[in-house]
């Protein structure tokens, strides 16, 4: 009699008697490893808007503007290569271990250094005819 | 008048979720000939190389394929380093070898699972992927990515891996090998696997050589050819021999992969024992590649050829990749001649087709 069925039978029996190897995601989550590339974080405080990160980004996910003191990242374009983290001299860009939550739409995180930035241009007031005497 | 019928096979999910289309000319249930057609997922990555900075292109080269991603990145970086005359530190070379072998094991385990699924062996499929998951965890712990490693760069690797982590990896590798040996016995001996694969899709050594087969398809036909024997990365300093099976059928190709996994565990253990200390990267700032280079690497699916031509500018002049699947399509068409229709999925699977890799 051939015993060739024995390896899989013992494997299946052991699996049936032991705990499942899968997790009940999202209720049960594994702790991410220290090196896991989750998503990009940015701290505006030290940033001098040198725009090196924007130049080094292979997918142009980062857009930085020196004049307006703005920095923005499009998470749907970011490939988590880590080039910006390595090249940021001020240490403003870091990688979080937690994966970015699923996006329902294109998500752009925009940061503006307000206290140094020039005031935003005032939008012209629109005066509708007949509304001048509206009590304020 | 011939009584043959043409049956379209693919491109939507023919065994693997890979878009390859075969027109099968059938005489009753027997395949008279098969006409392949590809080109469903062309992305123009080679052209992209001519427009991007060569340093940034390492990220793109890794995205040629999702399974052998690391080896594509490694091949690209090695080519650029060869053109620039950069010597990579030995620790980086050994770490690259380890990651290359880990990606070979996970690719073969993925294939073994899919082949078990194609044979209708669901439990074996799940067990193969259970073991693969343990390896993917090691990849994530050491590199930071699960599929796209993102560690290879021109001049070395991005981040060093601590010796403590490598020591832990060595212990875990032993556990994974023990777990793998259990399912390896099933692939070797189970009658369900044997009935579907033994004597199916035979490719003789002579045909394999003439048709230009590569990788496990070639070695499954008894030709001991492995590009790692060229001695790139650390392979020249390690003790190993190519795995060869003589039969040339689907079972032989399956067993070649099973034995290669065992061999890769051994290569990783050797690398961890001989791991040199020191730096992991050299600066390539200000250097530009100039000239042309052609070189070969061994991917899980077989030999991959890279051609790089650069004229000292920021962008490359030409970047060309010939992937193993392209080389294995001609042997596949030959193997399909004369087989039963029910055996077509199994034969297509045994060349381990990666069409997105093939079309770049």
Distances (CA, A) of B199 to A128, B16, B26: 86, 22, 20
Write down the pLDDT at residue A60.
84
- Span A13-17, average pLDDT: 87
Does residue A5 sit within a domain? Answer: no
Number of domains in chain A: 1
| Closest in B52, B123, B143 to A35, CB measured | B143
Predicted ipTM beyond 0.85: no
Contact residues, chain A, for B183 at CB < 8 Å = 7, 11
Beta bridge mates, A93 = A42
Does residue B192 sit within a domain? Answer: yes
Does residue B70 sit within a domain? Answer: yes
* Cβ pair B185:A7 closer than 8 A: yes
The H or E element containing residue B30 is: strand B30-37
Q: Assess contact for B22 and B35: CB atoms under 8 A.
A: yes
| Cis before B205? omega within 30 | no
Write down the pLDDT at residue A6.
76
- Span A9-15, average pLDDT: 84
Contact residues, chain A, for B140 at CB < 8 Å = 33, 35-36
Write down the pLDDT at residue A121.
66
Q: How far is B185 from chain A (nearest CA, A)?
A: 7
Tens place of pLDDT for every residue, chain B, 360 residues? 568 888 888 777 767 777 888 888 888 888 888 888 888 888 888 888 888 888 888 888 888 888 888 888 898 898 888 888 888 899 999 999 999 999 999 999 999 998 888 888 888 888 899 999 999 999 998 988 888 888 888 888 888 888 888 888 888 998 999 989 888 888 888 888 888 888 888 888 888 889 989 989 999 888 888 888 888 888 888 888 888 988 888 899 999 999 999 999 999 999 999 888 888 888 888 788 888 888 888 889 889 998 988 888 888 888 888 889 888 889 989 988 888 888 888 888 888 888 878 887
Q: What is the DSSP letter of A84?
A: H
Beta strands in A17-82 (DSSP E): 39-42, 62-65, 70-74
Among candidate residues A39, A25, A44, the one with its CA nearest the CA of residue A78: A39
How many angstroms separate the first and last alpha carbons of chain A?
Answer: 98
Beta bridge mates, B27 = B30
| Closest in B59, B124, B141 to A58, CB measured | B59
Q: pTM of the predicted model, to two decimals? A: 0.85
In A, what residues contact B, Cβ < 8 A?
2, 4-5, 7-8, 10-12, 15, 21, 33, 35-37, 56, 58, 79-83, 86, 95
Q: Assess contact for A71 and A47: CB atoms under 8 A.
A: yes
Among candidate residues B131, B124, B123, B126, the one with its CA nearest the CA of residue B106: B131
Does residue A100 sit within a domain? Answer: yes
Residue list, annotated binding site of B: 46, 65, 68, 321, 354, 357
Compute how many other C-beta atoms are within 10 angstroms of the C-beta atom of residue B213: 31
Does residue B335 sit within a domain? Answer: no
Q: Which domain holds residue A59?
A: 34-112
Q: Assess contact for B297 and B303: CB atoms under 8 A.
A: yes
Residue B204 tokens, joined: 């003789």
Q: Assess contact for B40 and B11: CB atoms under 8 A.
A: yes
Does residue A122 sit within a domain? Answer: no
Among candidate residues A80, A72, A93, the one with its CA nearest the CA of residue A38: A80
Residue A77 pLDDT exceeds 90:
no
What's B189's domain CATH number? Answer: 1.10.645.10
Does residue A68 sit within a domain? Answer: yes
Q: What secondary structure does DSSP assign to B97-134, as a single string?
A: HHHHHHHHHHHHHHHHHHHHHHTT-HHHHHHHHHHHHH
Does residue B119 sit within a domain? Answer: yes
Residue B164: alpha-carbon gap to chain centroid? 29
CA distance linking residue B86 with residue B24, whole number of Å: 50
Pairing of strands A39-42, A62-65: unpaired
Q: Assess contact for A58 and A81: CB atoms under 8 A.
A: yes
Q: Which domain holds residue B85?
A: 54-313
Number of domains in chain B: 1
Does residue A74 sit within a domain? Answer: yes
Contacts of B341 (CB under 8 A, 6+ apart): B7, B24, B26, B29, B30, B31
* Cβ pair A35:B140 closer than 8 A: yes
Percent of chain A with pLDDT over 70: 79
Does residue A86 sit within a domain? Answer: yes
pLDDT band for A136, please (50, 70, 90 cuts).
very low
Does residue A120 sit within a domain? Answer: no
Q: Assess contact for A41 and A92: CB atoms under 8 A.
A: no
* Cβ pair A35:B142 closer than 8 A: yes
Residue B142 tokens, joined: 């050491």
What's A100's domain CATH number? Answer: 3.30.70.3270
Residue A118 pLDDT exceeds 60:
no
Distances (CA, A) of B241 to B173, B235, B238, B259, B260: 21, 10, 10, 11, 10
CA distance linking residue B182 with residue A43, whole number of Å: 50
The H or E element containing residue B230 is: none
Q: How far is B279 from chain A (nearest CA, A)?
A: 17
């Amino acid at each position: 009699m051939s015993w060739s069925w024995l390896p899989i039978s013992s494997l299946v029996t052991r699996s049936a008697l032991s705990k499942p190897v899968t997790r009940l995601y999202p209720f049960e989550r594994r702790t991410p490893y220290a090196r896991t590339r989750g998503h990009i974080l940015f701290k505006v405080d030290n940033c001098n808007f040198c725009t090196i990160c924007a130049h080094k980004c292979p997918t142009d996910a980062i857009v930085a503007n020196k004049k307006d003191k703005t920095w923005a990242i499009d998470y749907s374009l970011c490939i988590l290569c880590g080039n910006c983290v390595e090249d940021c001299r001020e240490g403003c860009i870091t990688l979080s271990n937690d994966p970015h939550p699923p996006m329902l739409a294109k998500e752009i995180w925009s940061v503006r250094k307000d206290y140094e930035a020039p005031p935003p241009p005032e939008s012209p007031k629109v005066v509708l005819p007949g509304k001048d005497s509206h009590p304020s | 008048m011939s009584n043959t019928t043409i049956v379209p096979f693919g491109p939507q999910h023919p065994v693997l979720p890979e878009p390859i289309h075969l027109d099968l000319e059938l005489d009753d249930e027997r395949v008279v000939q098969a006409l392949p057609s590809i080109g469903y997922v062309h992305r123009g990555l080679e052209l992209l190389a001519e427009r991007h900075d060569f340093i940034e292109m390492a990220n793109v080269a890794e995205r040629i394929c999702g399974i052998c991603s690391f080896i594509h990145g490694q091949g690209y970086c090695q080519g650029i380093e060869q053109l620039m005359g950069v010597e990579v530190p030995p620790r980086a070379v050994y770490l690259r070898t380890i990651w290359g072998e880990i990606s070979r094991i996970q690719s073969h385990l993925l294939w073994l699972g899919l082949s078990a699924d194609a044979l209708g062996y669901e439990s074996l499929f799940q067990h193969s992927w259970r073991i693969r998951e343990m390896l993917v965890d090691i990849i994530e712990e050491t590199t930071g990515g699960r599929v796209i490693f993102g560690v290879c760069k021109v001049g070395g690797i991005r981040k060093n891996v601590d010796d403590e982590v490598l020591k832990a990896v060595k212990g875990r590798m032993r556990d994974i090998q023990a777990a793998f040996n259990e399912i390896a016995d099933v692939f070797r001996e189970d009658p369900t696997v044997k009935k579907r694969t033994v004597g199916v899709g035979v490719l003789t050594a002579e045909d394999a050589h003439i048709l230009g087969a590569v990788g496990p398809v070639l070695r499954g036909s008894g030709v001991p050819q492995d590009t790692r024997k060229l001695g790139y990365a650390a392979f020249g300093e390690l003790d190993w021999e190519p795995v060869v099976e003589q039969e040339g059928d689907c079972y032989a190709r399956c067993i070649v992969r099973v034995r290669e996994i065992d061999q890769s565990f051994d290569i990783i253990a050797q690398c961890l024992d001989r791991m040199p200390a020191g730096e992991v990267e050299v600066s390539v700032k200000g250097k530009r590649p100039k000239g042309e280079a052609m070189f070969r690497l061994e991917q899980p699916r077989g030999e991959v050829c890279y051609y790089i031509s650069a004229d000292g500018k920021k962008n490359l002049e030409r970047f060309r990749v010939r992937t193993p699947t392209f080389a294995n399509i001609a042997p596949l068409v030959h193997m399909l001649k004369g087989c039963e229709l029910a055996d077509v999925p199994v034969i297509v699977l045994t060349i381990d087709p990666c069409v997105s890799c093939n079309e770049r």
